[in-house]
């Protein structure tokens, strides 16, 4: 999931926002989340969320909730989302 940040004024501000987003997604959606790229850019970020499930429809439902919650953040504009299922 790629995000563009609005109203980010510094790298410290961006890291604070990303940490909060990761914590919210972990607690509310029960997924593993990592900031995987653009760590030194205060204007954008790339966050990955991962879930493991024996049931594909359940995994899709969880990832849809992750996408919805990340797009619902008033302080970010989530860009494209790429979902991959490994069997």
Query: How far, in Å, CA of 79 to CA of 21, rounded?
Result: 15
Q: Is residue 78 part of a domain?
A: no
Q: Which pLDDT value is given to residue 38?
A: 83
Residues above pLDDT 90, as percent of the chain: 20
Q: Which pLDDT value is given to residue 79?
A: 62
46 vs 77: which has the higher pLDDT: 46
Tokens of 13: 């501000």
Q: Is 84 helix (H, G, I), strand (E, B) or coil?
A: coil
Q: Write out pLDDT tens, residues 33-72.
A: 998 888 888 877 888 889 999 989 999 899 889 888 887 7
Q: Which pLDDT value is given to residue 21?
A: 87
Q: Is residue 48 part of a domain?
A: yes
Instruction: Tell me the residue range of the domain where 60 lies.
Output: 2-73
Number of structural domains in the chain: 1
Tell me the whole-structure pTM to 2 decimals: 0.78
We report the CATH number of the domain holding residue 65 as 3.30.70.1120
Going by the DSSP 8-state scheme, the letter that residue 7 receives in this structure is S
Residue 17, φ and ψ in degrees, nearest 5: -65, -45
């Amino acid at each position: 999931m790629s995000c563009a940040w609005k109203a980010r004024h510094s790298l410290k501000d961006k890291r604070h926002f990303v940490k909060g987003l990761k914590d919210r997604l972990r607690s509310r959606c029960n997924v593993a989340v990592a900031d995987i790229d653009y760590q030194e850019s205060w204007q954008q970020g790339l966050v990955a969320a991962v879930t493991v499930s024996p049931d594909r429809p359940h995994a899709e439902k969880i990832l849809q909730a992750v996408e919805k919650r990340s797009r619902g953040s008033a302080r970010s504009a989530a860009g494209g989302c790429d979902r991959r299922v490994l069997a």
